Amino acid sequence: MRFAALGCVHGNYLALEAVLADIKTQGITEIVNLGDMVSGPLDANRTAGIMMGINATCVRGNHDRYVTDWTLDEMYPSDRLAHSQLTAAQMEWLRALPFSAIYRDEVYCVHATPDDDNTYWMEAVTPEGVVHMADIESIEAKAAGIAESLILCAHTHIARSVRLRDGRMIVNPGSVGGPGYRDVAPYPHTLEVGTPNACYAIIEKREGRWDVTFRQVPYDHEAMAALARKNESLAWASALATGWIR
Ligand SMILES: [Fe+2]
């Protein structure tokens, strides 16, 4: 079994196209998409169009849910922009995506955690706003009851894999399209990946063990930074241009 895992495209269709081209170059035909396809000051319409055209196993992200289920007043500005860009058919497709999925009977897929689509799994935030790896006890507690030996999540945009003490693996492939963001929960913090490259993972089962390769794909990130600037999101523009929010 060999497949690509990706997530958190956030309307960045150029990054998605670059990742899909890289996946094809690797000879991989199966893709798991971990959600947050839309929302972001970019192009939700083109992104959803690409995703709907490929045969990926998809789960829904918290922002996909905000865009389809929240009122315009409740939405963050990036959700509202995505909402204005999406067709009725694209909205319906996003709304119908499952919260979680089992891929090929062996891989548990979810956007954030099994209980909530807006909770960090392998990371924690201090009251001072420092993002760090969570302790193994809290990571394992969220994995209780999952029988699959490989667990995939996204949401935090940090590419990471953690091996649980019972041998199960949790993998976050990082973010295809959002190399940085600011959030307010559980405490105000800034997340910066440190590179503008598009991130995803290639996963292969070899002799009963999971082999994970994190990929970073260069693409025309300046074009996406310019689009974010045009849509008046300077934090996104900075992250897309450099991997940092300054
Ligand atoms: Fe998310």
Q: What is the largest CA-CA distance in the chain?
A: 52
Termini Cα distance of the chain: 41
CA dist 11 and 236 (Å) reads 12
Q: In what order do the strands lie in the sheet with 31-33?
A: 57-58, 31-33, 2-6, 198-206, 209-217
Q: Which of 113, 119, 109, 94 is nearest to 183 (CA)?
A: 119
Q: Which residues neighbour ligand 1 (ion) by CB within 5 Å?
A: 36, 61-62, 155
Predicted confidence at residue 160, as pLDDT, reads 98
Q: Mind listing the pLDDT tens digit of every residue in the chain (246 residues)?
A: 999 999 999 999 999 999 999 999 999 999 999 999 999 999 999 999 999 999 999 999 999 999 999 999 999 889 999 999 999 999 999 999 999 999 999 999 999 999 999 999 999 999 999 999 999 999 999 999 999 999 999 999 999 999 999 999 999 999 999 999 999 999 999 999 999 999 999 999 999 999 999 999 999 999 999 999 999 999 999 999 999 999
Tell me the CA–centroid distance for residue 208 and ligand 1, in Å. 30
Tell me the CA–centroid distance for residue 65 and ligand 1, in Å. 10
Instruction: Please state the length of the chain.
Output: 246
**Is cis: bond before 41, omega within 30 of 0?**
no
β-bridge mates for residue 209, sequence order: 206
- Predicted TM-score (pTM) above 0.85: yes
Q: Which of 156, 173, 153, 179 is nearest to 12 (CA)?
A: 179
Domains of the chain: 2-232 (3.60.21.10)
